[in-house]
Amino acid sequence: MANVTLRNVSKAYPNGFRAIKGISLQIEDGQFCVLVGPSGCGKSTLLRMVAGLETTSSGEIDIGGRIVNQIEPAERDIAMVFQNYALYPHMSVYNNMAYGLRNRGTPEPEIKSRVEDAARILELGAMLDRKPGQLSGGQRQRVAMGRAMVRQPKVFLFDEPLSNLDAKLRIAMRVEIRKLQRRLGTTSLYVTHDQLEAMTLADCLVVMNGGEVEQIGHPLEIYQRPSSTFVASFIGSPPMNLMPLPASDIMAEPGCDLRAAGILGIRPEDFVLSSDRVAEGVALDLIVDAVERVGAETFIYGARQRPAAGHVAAGLPPAEVIVRVPGAEAPAIGHPIRAVAPRDKLHLFSADGRRRID
C-alpha cells in the first residue's frame, strides 16, 4: 500500500491542447479516491498518467515515496481495471488471473495460492475452469478485478470499470468493489462520469472540469457545500436549481437579502409545497409543467416567470424549477403551486458561477 501524490501535474499535446492544467492531489494510504466529471474533462487522461500510459508534460507523480514519471508502467507497482475487461478468450478464468504472475516469473505454488485466494473473495471458485465466453458481464468484471488483485499492487487504478454493465448489475458491482477495497485496504484511484457512482464509492471525491479540479472533499461535504455552480449542477440528481439574481419572481422574507447580483441555488429536496411563505427563506410561485413519479418520491417540474432582461446568467435555464417531494402524489399538470425553501437551505454563488458566497 502507498500514498499517491500529484504535484502540479500537467499534460499538453503537440497541437497545443492542454488536457491537464496543473493538478495537485494527495491520496492517502488505503484511501478510495474517485475522479468524476463530464466526458472530456481529463479524468481518464490523469489516471493514465498515474499508470504510465500517458507521459507527463510537467510536474511530479509520487507513488509510495518514489517519483515514477520516468518509470515504465510495469515497474510502478500498480494494477489497472479497464472498462474493457481485456480477458484472453482462449484461456480459462484461472489462467487469465495467473497470466501476469507467470510473466513475472512467480513460482507456480504461489500463483495457485494467490489465484485461489482471489477467487474465494470474488466468489469465482466454481468458475476457474470456465472460459470468458461462458461468463456473464458481472462475472467477467470480477475476473478482471481478480487479475488485478493477485498482483498485490500498491495501488489499484479503475478506469470506468462498470460502464458496460446494465443498471442493476452496476449497482451490485459498485457495492462489491467498495467491500473489496475496504477488505484489502489498497489505495485506489477510480474514474467515472456517473456522479451517483462517485458519491457512493468515494472516501475522497475529486470533481474535474476542463482539465482542472473544481473541488476536492468528502462526497457529502461537496454535495452540501458545492464550491461553484458547475459542482452544484453536476453533483446531485436531479441537479440543483440555479436562478440568476436579482429576480422579481423570487419572494424573500426579511433577513434573506437577495438583491445583489449573483446566482441562487436550491436543491430539489429542500423545497416544500405550501400556500404560505417561510419565516426566513424564499418562495416561488410555479405552474406545473411535468411530473415524474419514481416510486418513493416524485419530481415536479414547474415553470416560473423569466427574470428581467440582463439578469440571465449564461448557460442557466431560469424558467424551470425542479421540486422533489416524497410519495407518488403530485399536483396535476397546469396547476399552480408554491414551493418554499428555508434560509439555511439556500446556496449563493458569484454572478459568474465560479465562487461560493457564504
Q: Using the predicted structure, report yes or no on whether residue 279 has a pLDDT greater than 80.
A: no
Establish if 337 belongs to a structural domain: yes
b/e burial code for range 117-132 (CB count within 10 A of at least 16 → b): ebbebbebeebbeebb
CA–CA distance, 344 with 139 (Å, rounded to integer): 46
CA–CA distance, 235 with 219 (Å, rounded to integer): 9
Could you tell me the residue range of the domain that residue 299 belongs to? 238-357
pTM of the model: 0.87
CATH number reported for the structural domain that contains residue 275 in this entry: 2.40.50.140
Average pLDDT over residues 125-131: 92
Average pLDDT over residues 144-166: 88
CA–CA distance, 235 with 269 (Å, rounded to integer): 14
Residue where the block lists cell 454572478: 351
Q: Using the predicted structure, report yes or no on whether residue 40 has a pLDDT greater than 50.
A: yes
Establish if 232 belongs to a structural domain: no
3-state secondary structure of 242: strand
User: Which own/partner contact pairs does 116-125 have at CB distance under 8 Å and 24+ positions apart?
Assistant: 118/146, 118/149, 118/150, 119/93, 119/94, 119/146, 121/149, 121/180, 121/183, 122/146, 122/149, 122/176, 122/180, 124/93
pLDDT recorded at residue 327: 85
Poorest-confidence range of 175-184, 197-206, 311-320? 311-320
Q: Using the predicted structure, report yes or no on whether residue 311 has a pLDDT greater than 70.
A: no
Are both 122 and 256 inside the same structural domain?
A: no
Residue where the block lists cell 470468458: 132
Average pLDDT, the chain: 89
Count the domains in the chain. 2
CATH number reported for the structural domain that contains residue 50 in this entry: 3.40.50.300
Domain boundary among 224, 257, 274: 224
Domain boundary among 224, 254, 281: 224
| 99-117 confidence digits (pLDDT tens) | 989 988 999 999 999 999 9
Extract the C-alpha cell encoding 30. 488505503
pLDDT recorded at residue 305: 58
Are both 212 and 266 inside the same structural domain?
A: no
